[in-house]
Amino acid sequence: MEFLKAILFGIIEGITEWLPISSTGHMILLNEFINLNVSDEFYKLFEVVIQLGAIMAVVVLYFKTIFPWGFGKSKKETKDTLNLWGKIIVACLPAAVIGILLDDWLDAHLYNGVTVSLTLIIYGIIFIVIESKNIGKRNIKDLNDISYKQALGVGGFQLLSLIPGTSRSGSTIIGGLLLGLERSVASTFTFFLAIPVMAGASLLKLAKYVMDVGFVFETSELIILLIGCVVSFVISMLVIKYFMAYIKKHDFKVFGYYRIILGLIVLGYFVLQML
pLDDT digits (tens, 9 = 90+) for 113-151: 788 888 999 999 999 999 888 776 778 899 999 999 999
**CB count in 10 Å sphere of residue 70:** 9
CA-CA-CA-CA torsion sign (78, 83, 85, 88): negative
pLDDT at 34: 82
Q: Nearest-CA neighbor of 236 among 88, 92, 65, 61?
A: 61
pLDDT at 71: 80
pLDDT at 108: 73
Whether the CB-CB separation of 183 and 138 falls below 8 Å is answered with yes
Higher-scoring residue by pLDDT: 226, 95: 226
CA-CA-CA-CA torsion sign (219, 222, 228, 234): negative
Residue 19's pLDDT band (cuts 50, 70, 90)? very high
Range of 34-38, 78-82, 105-109, 115-119 with top mean pLDDT: 78-82
pLDDT at 219: 83
pTM across the whole model: 0.85
Enclosing domain of residue 124: 2-274
CA-CA-CA-CA torsion sign (136, 137, 143, 144): negative
Exposure pattern of 29-44 as b/e (b: 16+ CB <10 Å)? bbbeeeebebeeebbb
pLDDT at 275 over 80: no
Average pLDDT, the chain: 86
pLDDT single digits (tens) 167-196: 888 899 999 999 999 999 999 999 999 898
Domain count, the chain: 1
Region 37-64: mean pLDDT is 85
pLDDT at 222: 86
pLDDT at 257: 95
* Neighbouring residues of 187: CB distance < 8 A, sequence distance ≥ 6: 169, 173, 176, 243, 244, 247
